[in-house]
Amino acid sequence: MKEQELVQIEEAIAACNQMQVSNPIKDALVADLRPIAKRLPEYAAATKAPVSTQSEADSAELVCKAIADDVKLVKGQEVLSQITDGLHQLHRKFVGLRDMFLTPLENNRREIKGKIIRWQEVEAEKARALQRKLQAEADEKARLEREKMLNKMKSVKTPEKKEQYQATAAAVIAPTITIEAPRTTIKTSKRWAVKAINQDAFFGALVSDKQLRGYVNIKESSLVRTKAANPSMEIAGVEFEQRTV
């Protein structure tokens, strides 16, 4: 039995081979679209023409109707529609084929890498705890040694001996303890993530801190849909207007 992935590869390749366009189909496509292609410069030029009189408005209306007819022809062109639909299906098939491999690969790698990162974090904390413990022991050992030298300094009478013990005590410094945690060579990086958002605090800060407004996306299309459904609705700070299209 073939693996599912191999079956999907064969089906995608077969679908790709079926997308060949014969010469008669090409000829029919060119025959329908060539006249429209020739009219495109005329339509572009019409966008520059002024509309300030009745006759100019009537002429512009005729161009609009002609463009609408050509739009209808392009959208309704059967061969073009079939090719477009076929290419969309082919695109979805190959995207699905790619995702069939990438999705499990990336998910599995992410899960395994996550385990490695968590293990490294645990080991790093163990190393820090051990380092703190050993450093405390070293500091205490140095303190006791200094105390010992200072006590000896008190017990001697000659200034030379006192100075010697005092210098010896001052020279006693605990070594810096460093513990390296075990880790792998896998590449990791640090990145910031939003842990939580207090919306009341955030939106309250918008009033006084205008820089925060850049992080807010006002969905104007949603506002328009709501206004269309409820024309009497008013929203503070939002000005609506009706436009003719």
By three-state DSSP, how is residue 186 classified?
Answer: coil
Q: Mean pLDDT over residues 156-163, rounded? A: 91
Average pLDDT for the chain: 90
Q: Mean pLDDT over residues 157-166, rounded? A: 91
pLDDT tens per residue across span 31-76: 888 999 999 999 999 999 999 999 999 999 999 999 999 999 999 8
Phi-psi region of 9 (alpha: psi -120 to 50; beta: other; left: phi over 0): alpha
DSSP type of residue 183: -
Instruction: Give residue 19's pLDDT band: very low, low, confident or very high (50, 70, 90).
Output: low
DSSP type of residue 208: T
Q: At 95, which amino acid appears?
A: V
Tell whether the model's pLDDT for residue 217 goes beyond 50: yes
Spatial CB neighbours of 70, under 8 Å, sequence gap ≥ 6: 36, 39
Tell whether the model's pLDDT for residue 2 goes beyond 60: no
CA angle centred on 208, ends 202 and 223, rounded to 5°: 60
- Give the model's pLDDT for residue 1: 41
For the chain, what percent of residues have pLDDT higher than 70? 97
Q: Other CB atoms closer than 10 Å to residue 26's CB: what's the count?
A: 11
**C-alpha torsion 136→142→148→153, nearest 10:** -140
